[in-house]
Structure 1
Amino acid sequence: MNKTAQAGQEPAAEGRHTGDPRTDVATALHQLSTLVHGIYTRISERHDLTPVQARLLCVLLDGPRGMAELAHCFGVEKAALTGLMNRAERRGLAQRSAVPGDRRALQVTLTDAGYQAATAFHAEVSAELDRLVSPLAPDARERFGDTMAEIIARCRASGCADPR
C-alpha cells in the first residue's frame, strides 16, 4: 500500500494539488504546456503547417536569423534544420541567402507568403491564448504575465533553450 493510501488520502490526480507547492507548480506548468501545445498544433494544422514550421515562421517574424542560430534555437543539429528549411523553401515560406562578408554563412528570411502565413498563424494563436486567460481578473492576468516574463527572462539569461 502506498503512503497516500495509508494516510487515508486519495492519490493526487491530474489537476489536483498534492500539497507540495513545487509539485503543484510543476504539475500546473506541465498541464498548461500541454494545453498550449495542443492549441498551437491545432491552429498550425488549420494553416496547413506543421507545428515546427509554424514555430520557424514565428521566430523569423523577428527578422533574419542565421542557420547556426536557428539550429541552436530549435535545439537541433544543422542537418536537421537543413531538412526543415528545404521543406519551407519548397513551399515558398522562407529562403536562405548568403550573409554579406561571410561566404560560408547563410541567413534565413521569410518570403512574402511566409510573412503572411506567420502573421495569420500568430494572430490566431494569440487570440486563442487570450481567450484562454480572459476569465482571469485583470490583476491576476497582470501578475500571470509578469511571472511568465520573469521566467522567460531568467531562462534566456541562463542560456536555456530559446522559449519562442
Structure 2
Amino acid sequence: MKADDAGRSRGRHDLGLLDGLVQLSFAVHAALGRVAERHELSLIQVRLLGILRDREPGMQELATYLNLDKSSITGLVTRAEGRGLVRRFTTPEDRRAVNVTLTPKGRELAQVFAKQLELELAVLVQDLSEADRRRLSTLASRVVLDDLHRRYPDGVLPPRTPS
C-alpha cells in the first residue's frame, strides 16, 4: 500500500471481512516474527513453546497440533532440547509414549516472549477504545473457539493422517 493509500484508508473503517481478517493476520504474523527474531526462534518453535505453556503433550499430539509429520516433530523437539528449552519424558502409564514439557529456561522464554508480543500487539490496537478492545477480544475468542468446536466436537484432536 502506498503512503497516499494508507492516508486515504485511515478514514475508512471497514476493509470488509476478507481483507480485514487477512491483513490483521499479516500484522499479527509480522509481530510474531519480530519477537521470534529477537530470540533466534523460528515461527514453528514459537508455536511449540506456546503449546507447551499449559500442557505436556505426547509427540503424536504435538504433531497434530503443529500439523507436522513424525520426523519433523522429532527434529523440532531435538533442536529445542539442544537449546535447553524442552525435555522429553515417559509416563508411568505407558513407558513407550514420550511426552514433551518446557524446562525452566523454556518456561521463562515463553513468558518473556508473551510479554514482548503483548507489547507489539498493543501497538496494533492502541487507537481502539477499551470497549472496542474487549469486543475484539471477545469476537476473536469466539471465532477461534467456535472453529475448534466445529473441527473437534468431542474436544479431542484427531490423529494426524500422513500426507
Q: Same fold (TM over 0.5)?
A: yes
State the AA in 2 paired with 1:63: R
> Within the alignment, does 1:81 sit opposite 2:67 as a pair?
no
Corresponding position of 2:104: 112
> Within the alignment, does 1:66 sit opposite 2:58 as a pair?
yes
Runs of 4+ in 1 over 2 A off after TM superposition: 13-16
| Post-superposition CA distance 1:52-96 (Å, at most 9, x none) | 112211211113111111111111112211110010011111011
CA distance in 1, matches of 2:93, 2:73: 23
> Within the alignment, does 1:103 sit opposite 2:79 as a pair?
no
- 1:154 alignment partner, one of 138, 146, 150: 146
The aligned runs of 1:10-159 (5 Å cut-off) are: 24-159=16-151
What is the count of residue pairs matched by the alignment?
144
CA distance in 2, matches of 1:24, 1:132: 18
In the alignment, is the contact (CA less than 8 A) between 2:53 and 2:107 conserved in 1?
A: yes
CA distance in 2, matches of 1:159, 1:74: 15
Q: Which runs of 5+ in 1 are unaligned?
A: 1-12
Q: SS of 1:53's equivalent? A: helix
TM-score (normalised: structure 2): 0.80
CA drift at 1:145: 1.2
CA drift at 1:159: 2.0
State the AA in 2 paired with 1:35: A
Instruction: Give the percent of matched residue pairs that are identical in Structure 1 and Structure 2.
Output: 36
State the AA in 2 paired with 1:129: L
Q: CA RMSD in A?
A: 2.2
State the AA in 2 paired with 1:121: F
In terms of Rg, which structure is larger? 1
CA distance in 1, matches of 2:151, 2:100: 22
| Post-superposition CA distance 1:8-64 (Å, at most 9, x none) | xxxxx9997xxxx9x820111111111111110111010121111122112111131
| Post-superposition CA distance 1:93-151 (Å, at most 9, x none) | 10111122112211100111111111111110012112211210122112211110110
In the alignment, is the contact (CA less than 8 A) between 2:58 and 2:99 conserved in 1?
A: yes
CA drift at 1:158: 1.5
CA distance in 2, matches of 1:53, 1:146: 27
Q: SS of 1:109's equivalent? A: strand
TM-score (normalised: structure 1): 0.80
Corresponding position of 2:161: none
